[in-house]
Amino acid sequence: MNKTHQLKDILKTSNLDYLMEAHNGISAKIVEETGFKGIWASGLSISAQCGVRDSNELSYTQVLDICEYMSDATTIPILLDGDTGFGNFNNARRLVSKLEKINIAGVCIEDKLFPKTNSFIGSKQKLEDPEVFARKIQAMKDTQFDPNFQVVARVEAFISGYDAEEAVRRAEIYKEAGADSILMHSKKSTCEDIDNFMKLWENKHPVIIVPTTYHETPTQHFKDIGINTIIWANHNIRSSITAMQNTTKKIYDASNISCVNNDIVPVKEIFRLTNDAELRIAEKKYL
């Protein structure tokens, strides 16, 4: 099954599936070999690993370059966090064409304004007019070459302080415009927003959630209310920051590296992850 078909299966089937965050080639590879069926290429994490803010400070071609490394390193599908699509309908549809060329299986766009701000910053972010956003989705769906390429519409109504009725109103418009799934975002510490939405939504179309702040809700609850996909959105970048901070501090304090040897992988693990063995075999054949 090709990657777009795999992603479609993850997002559209009624059983609960997961996408795990990655932000470069090596983290994508780790996500795959751990057993996840798909990858969330997080805008926050990709920006952070470049040392910049999640405010469209990376150009879209810079994001594409990182996606290409992630795609080349893996055989499972990647859903790119495409923010607002890097502009209007025209920028968004060009993004789709470029993503298909590097074997990215789908893209999620959110109904905010370019340049975007991370959903966890501030409380009343201005949203895009839903009809304008719907035409952006339509342009993306009209542009895709592979019929299985996935366009996900992310609703930011709860993030901007609106109620479940507004969330449903927007989700319906985006579904009608051709979105393959709806990502309903919330930053409450409980799953109250998601519960309210799902009651009104009545499983009309597949739903993705990102329970970063309401992580104490048991996963079984999301199965029970009919969520299709959960995104674990930023845990690889956060864990790598913790690891790097601890290691760097220990080496700084000790002026020696023996103190961290038990905390870190041996260099040969890097060779394994980047498949150095294949190059050794190829050298025998071609050198």
Catalytic residues: 54
Whichever of 81 and 100 has its CB closer to Mg ion, that residue is 81
Whichever of 41 and 164 has its CB closer to ligand SPV, that residue is 41
Query: In angstroms, what is the minimal distance from the CB of 60 to ligand SPV?
Result: 15
Query: In angstroms, what is the minimal distance from the CB of 21 to ligand SPV?
Result: 6
CA proximity to 181, closest of 199, 154, 160: 154
Whichever of 146 and 192 has its CB closer to ligand SPV, that residue is 192
Chain residue at closest Cβ approach to Mg ion: 43
- d(CA 22, CA 45) in angstroms, rounded, equals 7
User: Among positive and negative, which fits the CA dihedral 186, 188, 194, 197?
Assistant: negative
Q: Residue 229 binds which one of ligand SPV, Mg ion, none, with CB within 5 to 8 A depending on kind?
A: none
Whichever of 81 and 193 has its CB closer to ligand SPV, that residue is 81
Whichever of 212 and 228 has its CB closer to ligand SPV, that residue is 212
Q: Which residue has the tokens 């304008």?
A: 132
- d(CA 185, CA 116) in angstroms, rounded, equals 15
Query: In angstroms, what is the minimal distance from the CB of 221 to Mg ion?
Result: 24
Q: Site residues for Mg ion, window 41-60 (CB under 5 A)?
A: 43-44
Q: How many residues bind Mg ion (CB under 5 A)?
A: 3
Query: In angstroms, what is the minimal distance from the CB of 46 to Mg ion?
Result: 9
128 in contact with Mg ion (CB under 5 A): no
Site residues (CB under 6 A) for ligand SPV? 42-44, 54, 81, 118-119, 210, 212, 233-234
Query: In angstroms, what is the minimal distance from the CB of 212 to ligand SPV?
Result: 5
Q: Residue 119 binds which one of Mg ion, ligand SPV, none, with CB within 5 to 8 A depending on kind?
A: ligand SPV
DSSP bridge partners of 19: 231
Q: Residue 105 binds which one of ligand SPV, Mg ion, none, with CB within 5 to 8 A depending on kind?
A: none
- d(CA 174, CA 229) in angstroms, rounded, equals 18
Q: How many CA atoms lie within 13 A of 166 on its CB side?
A: 16
Q: Residue 181 binds which one of ligand SPV, Mg ion, none, with CB within 5 to 8 A depending on kind?
A: none
Q: Site residues for Mg ion, window 5-44 (CB under 5 A)?
A: 43-44
Q: Which residue has the tokens 């519960």?
A: 195
Residue 54 phi/psi, 5° resolution? Answer: -85, 60
Stretch that binds Mg ion, among 75-83, 127-135, 144-152, 202-210 (CB under 5 A): 75-83
- d(CA 85, CA 99) in angstroms, rounded, equals 12
Query: In angstroms, what is the minimal distance from the CB of 18 to ligand SPV?
Result: 14
81 in contact with Mg ion (CB under 5 A): yes
Q: Residue 153 binds which one of ligand SPV, Mg ion, none, with CB within 5 to 8 A depending on kind?
A: none
List contacts with Mg ion (CB under 5 A).
Answer: 43-44, 81
